[in-house]
Amino acid sequence: MQFLEHQLENGLQVIAECNPQACCSAAGFFVRAGARDESDSLSGVSHFLEHMVFKGTERRAAADVNRELDDMGAQSNAFTSEEQTVYYAAMLPEYLSQGIDLLADIMRPSLREEDFAMEKQVILEEIAKYDDQPPYGAQERVMALHFGSHPLARSVLGTCQSVEALSRDQMAGYWQERYSPSNMTLAATGKIDFDALVSQLETLCGSWQGADVERAIPSGGEGGQLEQIHKPEATQQYVLQLANGPAADDPRRFAARVMATVVGDETGSRLFWELVDSGEAEIAALDSYEFEGTGIFMNYLCCTPERARQNMETIDAMLATLRQDGIRQEELEQAQNKICSQVVLGSERTMNRLFSLGINWMLRKNYMTVAETVESYSRVTCQDVAELLEEFPLDRRSLVTVGPLSRWDE
C-alpha cells in the first residue's frame, strides 16, 4: 500500500493509495462545493449541478455518459453534502484509463437548457420523495434551526421554490466558480499506476482554468432552540437534537466518535439498553459528524407518540449523568473494539478506501493509513472523553420533532 500525491500547475490535486494486489480500481473527483457554499437564490444548486454533470459534454451526449459507464461495468454514482460534491466509479483495472477519461470530461459539462429543464423535474421528484419518508425532512430542519445564519444551515436539496426559480445561467456561474481546478481533487485507490494516472490527467485537465475560491468558515451553531412540526398522518414520533462537537481538524474528533458509540451506538450502548432493548423506542442513537470549522452530535429518537416525552426525559437524565460521571473504562474499550473492527473490515473494499482517502484529504489535507486511524481511536482515554464533554456539553442543543403529537409540551 503506497500513498502518492501530485499537484497539476493549475492547482488540481491528484492523490492515490496504490494497492497492487487489488482486483479493482476506484477513482473520483472530490469537489469542494456543497450547500454551505450557496446563497439563498442558489439554494439546491450544488446538488442539481451534480445531476447535470451526467447530462453530457462537448464530446458526449447524456446517453453516451450513461452508456459508457455501463460499458465499462463501472459501479458509479455521485453525491452532494453540505461540503462536498463527489463523483466516483469503481471498475476493473483495465477500464481505469477509460473511466478517468469519462470522469474528467463530465467535470466540464455542457449544461444544456433542454436537459436543465428536464432534470429540474427529477430534482423536484427527489425532494417530494424525501418529504414522504421519515424523518420527513427533519434532519435538514434541525440543521437550519441549530445553525441559524451559519452556512451549514443550508439545505442540500433546496426547496421546491428555490429549485424552480434556478436558471441555467445561475448554475453555470456557480460551476465556473466552484469547479475551478484548485478547488478539486482526483483521488484513486486500488490497483493504480500513479505515473500513468498523472500523465493522463495532465493531458485531460491541464488546460482547465479557474480562480482560487474562498469558503466562509465561521464557528459552530448557537443551539438551544425548539421547533415542532405537526404531521398527523405519521405513525411514529421523530425527535432530532443537535449539539456542537469537534471540527474536522480537531484531534478530539476521535474521542467524539468513541463517546457517541458508548452513548448511542446501534447495539450495546447506553441508549440501546435504556430505550431500544427495553422496547421503549424503535431507534435511539447518537452520532458525531465533522465539518470544516465545527462539528455536531446528532441524537435521533423514533418511538410511539405516547412515549416520546418520557423517552426524552430518560435521554436528558442520561446525558446529565454522562456529563457528571463520564464513561467507564470497560465502556471505552468496548467502543474502541467495535470502531476499530469496523474501520478494518470497511477498508477491505476499494470503494470504501476511496471515500476515506478523498474526504480526509478534502477536510484535512493529510493521509491516514488504516493502522493510523485504528491507533488514533485506540489512544482515546476516559479523561479525553470527560474533557470533550466539558468543552462540548450535549445539553446545549437544538431540537426538532415531527409526528402526530399536536403539542410537544402536552
Partner 1 sequence: MNDHVHVHRFENGLVLLAEPMDWVESAAFTWLLPAGCRHDPADQLGLASFTCEMAQRGCGPWSNRQFVERLDNLGIVRSAGVSLEHTRFGAAMPRQRLAEALQAYSQLIWHPHLPADQVEESRQVCSHDIHSIQDAPAQQLMQALRRQYYPEPLGRSSQGTLAGVEAIGHSQVSQFYQSHYHPDGSILAVAGNIEWPELLEEVGGLLEAWQGPANDCPEPAEATGEDLHIPHSSSQTHIGIAFDAIPYSHPDYFQLRGAIGVLSDGMSSRLFTEVRENRGLCYAVQASCSSLKDRGCVMTYAGTTTERAQETLDVTLQELVRLGKGIEAEELKRLQARIKSALIMQQESSSARSSSITSDWYFLQRVYSLEELNRILDDLTCESINTYLAENPPGDFRIVTLGEQPLETPHAVS
Residues that bind partner 1 (CB under 8 A): 21-24, 54, 62-63, 65-67, 69-76, 90-92, 118-122, 124-126, 128-129, 131-134, 233-236, 267-268, 273, 276-282, 302-304, 333-334, 337-338, 340-342, 344-345, 348-350
Cis check for the bond before 134: say yes or no (omega within 30 of 0): no
State in angstroms the smallest separation of the CB of 84 from partner 1.
21
Q: What is the dihedral of CA 266, 270, 275, 281, to 10 degrees?
A: -30
Distance CA 135, CA 238 (A): 6
Cell representation of residue 380: 482515546
- Looking only at the bridges linking them, the beta strands covering 13-18 and 184-190 are parallel
385 grid coordinates: 472523553
- Bridge partners of residue 56, in order along the sequence: 61
Whose cell is 476499494? That residue is 350
Nearer Cβ to partner 1 (97/304): 304
CB of 166 to partner 1, least distance (A): 15
**CB 65 to partner 1: min, Å:** 8
Nearer to partner 1, 306 or 316 (CB): 306
Which of 130/323 has CB closer to partner 1?
A: 130
Nearer to partner 1, 122 or 196 (CB): 122
Least Å from the CB of residue 161 to partner 1: 14
Residue with smaller CB distance to partner 1, 176 or 337: 337
Q: How far is the CB of 358 from partner 1 (least distance, A)?
A: 18
Q: How far apart are CA 352 and CA 346, in angstroms?
A: 6
> How far, in Å, CA of 279 to CA of 268, rounded?
14
Q: Please state, in angstroms and as integers, the Cα–Cα distance from residue 86 to each residue in 27, 29, 114, 334, 355, following that order.
A: 10, 6, 24, 33, 9
C-beta closer to partner 1: residue 155 or 350 = 350
At its nearest, how many Å lie between partner 1 and the CB of residue 324? 23
Q: Return d(Cα 276, Cα 282) in angstroms, integer.
A: 6
